[in-house]
């Protein structure tokens, strides 16, 4: 029955592609830096080959915040773009406003349900309908390490939290900055993603951040997580506050610092500096979080458009985004991994392949979880409430006990 429907859709899709001259797509996004934008250009050219024009609407800033403000103005003015780059709960929030379109036809025809991990589908689908096409999966619980410093100090890749602390201590004793970090709220929170799992395991992470359980948030385990943040705090240099993440990466690249905890986009900085994974730098999961992957995923949400031509163009764009070739081509440049688990990752570098394998395994085991720091565990208001507490604690305003209590209250207040 299902198969029949799918075939019907394919036929309909093919018929429409040949008969209707598809309209243009206007794409609002914030991928403006060199590599990302170039990668997106691949998509543009692919669509142009199919006769679909690409109207570019780039608005960078604040990890998409500026673009979301623009989007709000556009929607309010009754003139939404056709496709918009979005993250996590934003997609769901916009869907709840009833302004998004529907991609069920192309999703069914291409069998997205089977190839996209379920945790991702939670964001790409609303009320059972496909509303967005995922482009990539970033994961946040990575550590980037300077291999020559580790070799010099005779350190192996740490696998437990205790080993990690010992390794940082050794680096600090050797006069290096143990942990390169930039003190911005989202960076503090990115570390917190990994630290919470290391302290309480994936189940605890889910209870605390996804179910937002008051008891978990104020529990002794959470206090322990905050204590671990204090440990990390003692290994950063004095000037960490306000530093951009890529300058922190540069410290690891330039042999000034031993480790950085950052999402996999940091890889781009290392590769750009001519460093080779495995030889010059190491990538591994935050010690104590092996087997878990906290992710964030860029998606293109499709806005409801009146006429059929435009809807057709949207479907074709979504289909192009989901095509295995694009997924590989794009993610090779971006540092992330494909959003579908069935593509051949052999073209990716060592870290990318590792990331893909771990993602597939985590998806299998139910430990593939949305990143709190990047808006994939809870809504914007809650996320920012957590940011406030984590940052305040990291900057020494609270002790661990108070922080856990404040966290539980802040989350409850923002819900």
Partner 1 sequence: MATTRAQPDFRTRLQDWLPRIVLSPSIAMMFVFVYGFIVFTIYLSFTDSRMLPSYDWVGIENYVRLWGLRAWWTAVINLGIFASLYIVICTAIGLSLAIFLDQKIRGEGLLRPIYLYPMALSFIVTGTAWKWIMDPGIGIENTMHLWGWESFEFRWIKDRDMAIYTVVIAAVWQTSGFVMAMFLAGLRGIDNEMLKAAQIDGASNWNLYRRIVIPLLRPAFLSAFVILAHLAIKSYDLIVALTGGGPGRATELPATFMYSYTFTRNSMGIGAASAVIMLMSIAAIMTPYLYAELREKK
Partner 2 sequence: MSVATQDTAVRTGRVTRTFIYVFLLLFALFYLMPLFVMLANSLKPLSEITEGNMMALPKVWTLEPWAKAWSSAQIGVEPTGLRPYFLNSILMVVPAVAISTVLGALNGYVLTKWRFRGDSILFGLLLFSCFIPFQIVLIPMAMVLGKLGLAGSIPGLVLVHVVYGIGFTTLYFRNYYAAFPTELVRAAMIDGAGFFQIFWRIMLPVSGPIAVVSVIWQFTNIWNDFLFGASFGGQSQPMTVALNNLVQSSTGVKEYNVHFAGAILAALPTLLVYIVAGRYFVRGLMAGSVKG
Residue 75 in contact with partner 1, rule: CB under 8 A: yes
Considering only residues 5 to 44 of the shown chain, the ones binding partner 1 according to CB under 8 A are none
Beta bridge partners of 282: 145
Residue 53 binding target from partner 1, partner 2, none, CB below 5 to 8 Å by type:
none
We find the least distance from the C-beta atom of residue 259 to partner 2, in angstroms, to be: 18
Q: According to the 3-state scheme, what is the secondary structure of 243-279?
A: CCHHHHHHHHHCCCEEEEECCCCHHHHHHHCCCCECC
Binding mask 302-341 for partner 1 (x = CB under 8 A): ----------------------------------------
What is the enclosing helix (H) or strand (E) of 83? strand 83-87
Residue 38 binding target from partner 2, partner 1, none, CB below 5 to 8 Å by type:
partner 2
Q: Report residue 378 CA to chain centroid gap.
A: 13
Residue 74 binding target from partner 2, partner 1, none, CB below 5 to 8 Å by type:
partner 2
We find the least distance from the C-beta atom of residue 87 to partner 1, in angstroms, to be: 12
**Virtual CA dihedral for 127, 129, 135, 138, nearest 10 degrees?**
20
Question: How would you classify the pairing of strands 177-180 and 257-261?
Answer: parallel
CB atoms within 10 A of CB 154: 7
Residue 97 in contact with partner 1, rule: CB under 8 A: yes
**How far, in Å, CA of 86 to CA of 83, rounded?**
9
**How far, in Å, CA of 69 to CA of 395, rounded?**
29
Annotate 106-137 with b (16+ C-beta within 10 A) or e (fewer).
Answer: bbbbbebeebbbebbbbbbbbeeebbbbbbbb
Positive or negative, the CA dihedral 158, 162, 165, 171 is: negative
Residue 384 in contact with partner 1, rule: CB under 8 A: yes
We find the least distance from the C-beta atom of residue 360 to partner 2, in angstroms, to be: 23
Of 1 and 77, the one with the shorter C-beta distance to partner 1 is 77
**Could you tell me which stretch among 149-157, 271-279, 303-311, 392-400 binds partner 1 (CB under 8 A)?**
392-400
Pick from 7, 32, 48, 69: which binds partner 1 (CB under 8 A)?
69
Of 234 and 239, the one with the shorter C-beta distance to partner 1 is 239
Of 44 and 354, the one with the shorter C-beta distance to partner 2 is 44
Positive or negative, the CA dihedral 359, 365, 366, 371 is: negative
Residue 36 binding target from partner 1, partner 2, none, CB below 5 to 8 Å by type:
partner 2
We find the least distance from the C-beta atom of residue 29 to partner 1, in angstroms, to be: 17
**Could you tell me which stretch among 36-44, 45-53, 236-244, 313-321 binds partner 1 (CB under 8 A)?**
236-244
Of 189, 265, 201, 264, nearest to 232 (Cα)? 189
**Which residues of the shown chain bind partner 2 in the complex (CB under 8 A)?**
29-38, 40-41, 43-44, 54-64, 66, 69-70, 72-74, 76-79, 138, 244, 246-247, 250, 253-254, 256, 263, 265, 268-269, 272-273, 334-335
We find the least distance from the C-beta atom of residue 152 to partner 2, in angstroms, to be: 20
We find the least distance from the C-beta atom of residue 245 to partner 1, in angstroms, to be: 12
Contact 159, 290 (CB under 8 A): yes
Residue 65 in contact with partner 1, rule: CB under 8 A: yes
Of 386, 406, 210, 218, nearest to 294 (Cα)? 210
We find the least distance from the C-beta atom of residue 347 to partner 1, in angstroms, to be: 35
CB atoms within 10 A of CB 69: 13
Q: How many Cα atoms sit within 13 Å of 130 on the Cβ side?
A: 23
Of 76 and 346, the one with the shorter C-beta distance to partner 1 is 76
Pick from 19, 128, 238, 306: which binds partner 1 (CB under 8 A)?
238
**How far, in Å, CA of 407 to CA of 405, rounded?**
5
We find the least distance from the C-beta atom of residue 387 to partner 1, in angstroms, to be: 9
Residue 253 binding target from partner 2, partner 1, none, CB below 5 to 8 Å by type:
partner 2
The binding site for partner 1 (CB under 8 A) comprises 62, 65, 68-69, 72, 75-76, 93-94, 97, 183-185, 237-243, 379-381, 384, 388, 391-392, 394-397
């Amino acid at each position: 029955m299902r198969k029949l429907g799918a075939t019907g859709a394919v036929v309909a899709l093919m018929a429409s592609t040949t008969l209707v001259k598809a309209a243009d797509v206007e794409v609002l996004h914030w991928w403006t830096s060199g590599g990302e934008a170039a990668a997106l250009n691949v998509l543009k050219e692919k669509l142009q080959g199919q006769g679909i024009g690409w109207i570019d609407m780039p608005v960078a800033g604040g990890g998409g915040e500026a673009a979301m403000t623009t989007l709000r103005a556009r929607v309010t003015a009754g003139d939404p773009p056709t496709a918009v780059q979005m993250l996590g709960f934003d997609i769901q929030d916009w869907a709840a406003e009833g302004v998004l379109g529907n991609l069920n036809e192309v999703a069914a025809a291409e069998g997205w349900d089977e190839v996209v991990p379920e945790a991702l589908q939670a964001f790409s689908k609303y009320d059972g309908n496909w509303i967005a096409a995922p482009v990539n999966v970033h994961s946040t619980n990575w550590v980037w390490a300077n291999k020559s410093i580790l070799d010099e100090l005779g350190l192996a890749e740490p696998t437990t939290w205790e080993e990690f602390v010992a390794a940082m201590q050794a680096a600090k004793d050797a006069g290096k900055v143990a942990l390169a970090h930039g003190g911005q709220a989202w960076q503090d929170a990115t570390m917190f993603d990994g630290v919470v799992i290391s302290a309480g395991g994936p189940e605890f992470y889910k209870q605390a951040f996804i179910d937002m359980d008051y008891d978990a948030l104020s529990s002794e385990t959470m206090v322990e997580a905050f204590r671990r943040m204090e440990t990390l705090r003692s290994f950063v240099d004095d000037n960490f506050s306000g530093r951009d993440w890529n300058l922190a990466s540069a410290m690891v690249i330039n042999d000034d610092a031993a480790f950085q905890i950052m999402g996999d986009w940091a890889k781009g900085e290392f590769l750009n500096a001519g460093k080779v994974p495995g030889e010059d730098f190491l990538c591994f999961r935050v010690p104590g979080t092996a087997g878990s992957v906290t992710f964030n995923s860029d998606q293109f949400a499709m806005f409801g458009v009146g006429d059929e031509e435009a809807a057709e163009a949207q479907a074709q764009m979504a289909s192009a985004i989901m095509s295995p070739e694009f997924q590989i081509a794009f993610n090779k440049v971006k540092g992330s991994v494909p959003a579908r688990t069935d593509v051949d990752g052999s073209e990716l570098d060592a870290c990318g392949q590792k990331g893909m394998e771990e993602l597939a395994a985590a998806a299998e085991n139910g430990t593939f979880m949305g990143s709190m720091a990047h808006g994939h565990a809870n809504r914007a208001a809650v996320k920012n409430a957590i940011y406030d507490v984590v940052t305040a604690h990291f900057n020494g305003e609270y002790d661990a006990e108070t922080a856990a209590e404040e966290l539980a209250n802040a989350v409850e207040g923002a819900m």
